[in-house]
Structure 1
């Protein structure tokens, strides 16, 4: 359990309190300053009004001129001070003698500063007088002729202004307390709402989860691609970017904008449904699984896992070929054993001439197919491929033969994927013939004709079979990933061979086409480079 200072609620509470307190403190300081300035201004205006009014009272001027023999002015000043709330009201003659003062001991004494209001003007300001700091106003005392005979000094002490200010500050403090309480309540509600959205996970735990998530996503060997409900990619690890061939980050982009049109995009978007769906790219054979993501019962998008099965699929196909070849070799082993037994018995019986003749027949039969292929195909690799395919096909009662019009010189297949392309096409043709239910009971079940020819600028491969052919409305689909009319055999996936052939041919700059004149017919054209020095 995280400590109080580290919980989300505590952090939000402290942040809100800090903001509120700082805001209130700054606001209070500004308010106090403005209020103080306003209070001083108001006090000066009040003092000025009192001084001007009292200075224009005829009795005051008359008593000043007569020297106030009846001592009327002290009582008058006291009455005015009491009535207006001023801190002091001092009446002074032209010579600076005080005729009224809150402190009776100072009445009759001269002031230390000059009498400034004799110029007929009102002088205001903050005065450091005998009673303390005050807002002060000095107005002239004018007689009937308009002559200044003295001045009235009225002041409002700072303590009096402070009392008024304190009364207003209490109201401000009350409002600040209410604002602080509202801030605390809002912060608690906000923290609760955030924790509800984050499923009660604290910020430190969220950071740890994010770090673990990034380490996991970029550390696994499988590609992971996550798409939100709007179709935008929000998770794409390094392996997925490598397998899908996405050079840019891809994050935030829509699937339709990041992936090219085709089977791969249809699987990611969910147009094609199923488990372990196969897609072939220019570089990889991929197996994809798409799973929807539901959060609290609502659709939050989907996650696609991507596995690279290129090497594994190649090994499975090689193993399948080796099994087929080993089966053919085992059958031939029995046949050769029978032939050896015949030769052994003929020699034991002393039929040397018959044994010699029989041996020559076997040799001629064995060498016939090899010599026929080598007469038309100069490339030893392709010749060996054709012989191997003939042997394997024979065990499935299918005849593979080379078209007599084939012509291929040695070296014509350099830098071209001829073996892979031709091998896959022959395998597909043999499967189509051997699995054709209409050929059951016939011997042989059918044949596959291979034609290989080198023209001036291209290598042309043609594979034709006598199988059931391809429906006219599916001729454009035979090269799509996953399309197949055959049942899966073992761990080898169907619908991959022709897609791989198509990509190999396209990558080499060639073309491949399919037709169905009777059985299936595939025509491949691979451009060849003319080497220097060769015309």
Structure 2
């Protein structure tokens, strides 16, 4: 195989055009075919010679053997005993156009022959059947010449063999046969070369139209560059045809979408990809950076339709993994919300301190005491609940901030009496911040239209797990959507904003499952979400 490749490399260097390569290949094929034709023609000519000349030689020998004068004279004939037998033999030879005619006695000794040197020699051959009284045709080598002969017995009136007649013709030489078939072979060669040249040019033009005028070397380089580009980028790339068949997928795409290695050529239905993946790869994208949750990863998709000369070729979709970035954005959002609430409380306490300072300066001491008691009573209950049950500073600060937001929106946020959470490692605290923040925000949105909105948070901790339960008195979750809210961004809000909407619950489940837990939702006088995280 390597030898063939090396031969092709020598025959067709990169500088030879495609048309020239086609022409050379076709000329080689024509040469091989023509050689085969010459061999077959030569063999056929030899076979025709044997058939025609064999019949003619046999007919001439039988004619001479049936001559009555030959049958009378042959029994007593001896070599060089007169001219009658040689005359009859020569007459038959010249009439038939054969090369030689030989007459021999019953033992095969030559009496007369067109070749005088044969007189006195034997014409019998091992394969000859003439000694058995039957005619025989075959080929022999005589003095270096290939000769076709026919031998028949000479029988008297009583059927006794009195002699043998042999006639034959020398085989034509190979050069003679080639000269005979040369005109037709030359005509065939010229026609084949002409058709091959025209066909090579037409085929080359057609191939070049289909390959945009590029030579094979350029196509090979383009393919190598494309492969290097596809497998060198860090983004997933998938090309899908109009009939939803995967035409191209790089390694990152196969890994992120969990596709088989032989996915190219199969349809999305055959590959059984997730519905959101099918939607991302096939539907029109009006806004950049569509986010979908795929196999517990947040992927950002960008789809671009492809059309050439008005013909729809499908689309090319690029995507990247933004799971960690999305989680960091969520945590940053929660931290920002917490800092904003703490800043607002700082301003609020500053105003209250200014009011107390003014009352003291006015000497309204009883009013000071009443004002302080009112402020203390309104906040002490929640602070006491959080301080008594939540020892993790990050979560405690988050709950106080969420309580302030809830109060501003007229929502009552309470912590269940049996709640408890001790100090934990930093990673678990961040994950709990994401889960609690998302569930509480989701609950506040759910009770926004309720007359007396109420949200209850319950946190339970064991040696191995932390369970977070958030209940509200809203309208609950639609039964048709209760199984979908965690699988993909589900929101009635504007989904065109930066980063998308409806990923809070999806991220909550992602965090829980990453910690070998899960999150579930039921309707119990409203929506109730229960999240479990392994410590």
| Structure-1-length-normalised TM-score | 0.77
Which residue number corresponds to residue 85 of structure 1? 97
Q: Name the SS for the 1:195 alignment partner.
A: helix
1:425 to 427, 439, 443: 439
1:47 to 39, 57, 66: 57
Which residue number corresponds to residue 214 of structure 1? 227
Matched, 1:134 2:147: yes
1:246 to 249, 253, 259: 259
1:454 to 456, 460, 463: 460
Which residue number corresponds to residue 207 of structure 2? 194
Cα offset, 1:204, TM superposition: 1.9
Paired with 2:409 and 2:131, the residues of 1 have a C-alpha distance of 140
Paired with 1:5 and 1:31, the residues of 2 have a C-alpha distance of 39
The runs of 5 or more residues in structure 1 that have no matched partner are 440-444, 530-535
Which residue number corresponds to residue 486 of structure 1? 493
Which residue number corresponds to residue 501 of structure 1? 508
Contact 2:110 2:119 in 1 (8 A): yes
Cα offset, 1:152, TM superposition: 2.9
What's the CA shift string for 1:236-264, capped at 9, x where partnerless? 21221222233654333331243444323
Which residue number corresponds to residue 119 of structure 2? 111
Cα offset, 1:314, TM superposition: 2.8
Q: Give runs of aligned pairs for residues 257-336 of structure 1, distance below 5 A.
A: 257-270=270-283, 275-336=288-349
Q: Give runs of aligned pairs for residues 179-190 of structure 1, distance below 5 A.
A: 179-190=192-203
Contact 1:141 1:152 in 2 (8 A): yes
Q: Name the SS for the 2:501 alignment partner.
A: coil
What's the CA shift string for 1:20-46, capped at 9, x where partnerless? 322332343244235325524543443
Which residue number corresponds to residue 385 of structure 1? 398
Paired with 2:376 and 2:292, the residues of 1 have a C-alpha distance of 47
Matched, 1:203 2:216: yes
Paired with 1:261 and 1:217, the residues of 2 have a C-alpha distance of 23
1:28 to 13, 29, 38: 38
Q: Give runs of aligned pairs for residues 392-431 of structure 1, distance below 5 A.
A: 392-394=405-407, 396-399=408-411, 401-410=413-422, 417-431=431-445
Paired with 1:4 and 1:509, the residues of 2 have a C-alpha distance of 61
Contact 1:263 1:480 in 2 (8 A): no
Paired with 2:242 and 2:200, the residues of 1 have a C-alpha distance of 31
Task: Please say which of residues 503-512 and 286-295 is displaced more in the overlay.
Answer: 503-512
What's the CA shift string for 1:475-494, capped at 9, x where partnerless? 56544523212236963421
Cα offset, 1:223, TM superposition: 1.0
Contact 2:305 2:315 in 1 (8 A): yes
Paired with 2:194 and 2:282, the residues of 1 have a C-alpha distance of 51
The runs of 5 or more residues in structure 2 that have no matched partner are 1-11, 125-129
Paired with 1:118 and 1:455, the residues of 2 have a C-alpha distance of 120
Matched, 1:522 2:528: yes
Cα offset, 1:496, TM superposition: 0.9
Cα offset, 1:155, TM superposition: 2.2
Cα offset, 1:367, TM superposition: 5.4
CA distance 1:111–1:73, shift in 2 (3 Å): closer
CA distance 1:127–1:247, shift in 2 (3 Å): closer
CA distance 1:363–1:381, shift in 2 (3 Å): same
CA distance 1:527–1:424, shift in 2 (3 Å): closer
Task: Please say which of residues 172-181 and 360-369 is displaced more in the overlay.
Answer: 360-369
CA distance 1:260–1:100, shift in 2 (3 Å): closer
Q: Name the SS for the 1:6 alignment partner.
A: coil
CA distance 1:355–1:112, shift in 2 (3 Å): farther
1:224 to 233, 237, 242: 237
What's the CA shift string for 1:37-86, capped at 9, x where partnerless? 55245434432331222122112244554779884444433432232221
| Structure-2-length-normalised TM-score | 0.77
Which residue number corresponds to residue 12 of structure 1? 22
Q: Give runs of aligned pairs for residues 59-74 of structure 1, distance below 5 A.
A: 59-64=69-74, 65=76, 71-74=83-86
Which residue number corresponds to residue 351 of structure 2? 338
Contact 2:41 2:181 in 1 (8 A): no
Paired with 1:253 and 1:361, the residues of 2 have a C-alpha distance of 71
What's the CA shift string for 1:506-526, capped at 9, x where partnerless? 664444225495xx6332153
Task: Please say which of residues 78-87 and 207-216 is displaced more in the overlay.
Answer: 78-87
CA distance 1:400–1:458, shift in 2 (3 Å): farther
Cα offset, 1:202, TM superposition: 2.3
CA distance 1:431–1:38, shift in 2 (3 Å): same
Cα offset, 1:280, TM superposition: 1.1
What's the CA shift string for 1:201-227, capped at 9, x where partnerless? 322222222211111111112211122
Paired with 2:354 and 2:112, the residues of 1 have a C-alpha distance of 160
Which residue number corresponds to residue 7 of structure 2? none
Cα offset, 1:322, TM superposition: 3.8
Which residue number corresponds to residue 521 of structure 2? 513
Paired with 2:246 and 2:143, the residues of 1 have a C-alpha distance of 81
Q: How many residues align?
A: 512
CA distance 1:357–1:30, shift in 2 (3 Å): same
Contact 2:22 2:200 in 1 (8 A): yes
